Amino acid sequence: MKKSLGSKMLPYLFILPTLVLMVIFSYYAIINAIYTSFTDSVYGTTSAFVGLENYARAFQDKIFLTSFINQLLLTAAAVFNSVFFPLLASELLFFVKHSKLANIIKTLFVVPMMVPTIITIFIWKYLYNPNFGINTILRRMGLKSLAHNWLNDETTALLCIILIGFPFISCMYFLIMHNGLNMISGELYEAALVDGATPMQVVRFIHVPNLKPYINTIVTLSLINSLSGFGLVAATTNGSPGYSTMIPALYMYKIAFGDGKFGYASACGCVLFIVIIILTLASRKFFGNKEGA
């Protein structure tokens, strides 16, 4: 009996250290941020409880509201790019019949994973540089009038950030899609062959329905990464020109560590946290919870 009890408890003992670390470094931070959001905490001063004052201020803050509009545009583009282009790449690879060629193509898609993200950002910043990259090409083509400072123009800065990473074939999302295609039962393809289905019909009626749980996973990851991260914007425009590329996470960071207003920054962070949860649950509801994801 004791041996049986010990065997049942062993898996939980292995998980316990991870749970303790998560509580200390993740959940404590979340709880502390929620508490701080109801105070007027400012660096170097004693905080006092202010109720919902910070939240009311957030919904009246034009910069914060503008940052959410920018974020929604960036997130919509990120989700579309994260699903469509890896799906397209995996579908094209699926119909490559030559196994050696397929392996070479797969390797070419995966190799960029080894390149640090910051290197990719610097390459794109070089392309957007007013003295090099795209402007050089335009001048040589006789289109000098179109050349300008792409990242310092309010009309083009956000679009330029959206285009960073083209052709948007994330190797992680590509591998998820590719694995999903490989998990589809061969019986479905045999039935499609008997019915004389075209490749497009195979994609529409077999691939896409069976890839829904994998698409759901990608959408969820893409939503969280886009809404919670600000490294791309910080490394390219830092929210400028004006506030045309400002996003909530970066704005929150600047308020907290630039102005020292931790109470207001925590309220902005809590609003962002709630938005992430709502959009994540909505995406899971939309794509369903089919087993196999």
Residue 171 maps to which CATH number?
1.10.3720.10
Q: Is residue 131 part of a domain?
A: no
262 CB-near residues (< 8 Å, 6+ apart): 36, 41, 42, 43, 256
With cut-offs at 50, 70 and 90, classify the pLDDT of residue 182.
confident
DSSP state of 205: I
Torsion, Cα of 167, 158, 234, 70 (10° steps): -110
Beta bridge partners of 39: 49
- At 258 the three-state DSSP class reads coil
pLDDT at 72: 93
More confident call, 106 vs 159: 159
Identify the three-state secondary structure at position 157.
helix
pTM of the model: 0.84
Mean pLDDT of 73-91: 92
Tokens encoding 184: 């589809």
Residue 48 lies in a domain: yes
Assess if residue 14 is contained within a domain: no
Give the distance between the most distant pair of CA atoms in the chain.
85
Quick one: what percent of the chain has pLDDT higher than 70? 95
Residue 242 has pLDDT above 80, yes or no: yes
Q: If you average pLDDT over residues 86-115, what whole number do you get?
A: 82
In a domain? residue 165: yes
Domain contains 163: yes
- In the structure, what pLDDT confidence band is assigned to residue 16 with cuts at 50, 70 and 90? confident
Q: Which of the residue ranges 5-9, 119-123, 239-243 would you say has the lowest mean pLDDT?
A: 5-9
- The residue written with tokens 């939980």 in the block is 12
Which residue(s) pair with 49 in the sheet? 39
Per-residue model confidence (pLDDT) at position 292: 42
Apex 165 CA angle, 269 and 212, nearest 5: 75
Q: Of 162, 163, 169, 176, which Cα lies nearest the Cα of 75?
A: 162
Residue 167: which domain range?
A: 44-121+154-287
pLDDT at 288 over 70: no
Highest mean pLDDT among 111-115, 196-200, 252-256: 252-256
Residue whose C-alpha is closest to residue 244's, from 63, 2, 37, 29? 63
Q: What mean pLDDT do residues 99-104 have?
A: 81
**88 lies in some domain:** yes
Chain length of the chain: 293
**Angle at the Cα of 76 (from 75 to 82), degrees rounded to 5?**
85
Q: What is the pLDDT of residue 171?
A: 85
pLDDT, position 200: 87
In a domain, 188, yes or no: yes
Rg of the Cα atoms in the chain:
24
Question: Chain centroid to CA 291: how far?
Answer: 23
State the total domains in the chain: 1
Query: Do 250 and 234 meet the contact criterion of CB atoms below 8 Å apart?
Result: yes
Which H or E run includes 248? helix 248-257
Q: Which of 46-50, 135-139, 199-203: highest mean pLDDT?
A: 135-139
Does residue 58 fall inside a structural domain?
A: yes
pLDDT band per the 50, 70, 90 thresholds, residue 185: confident
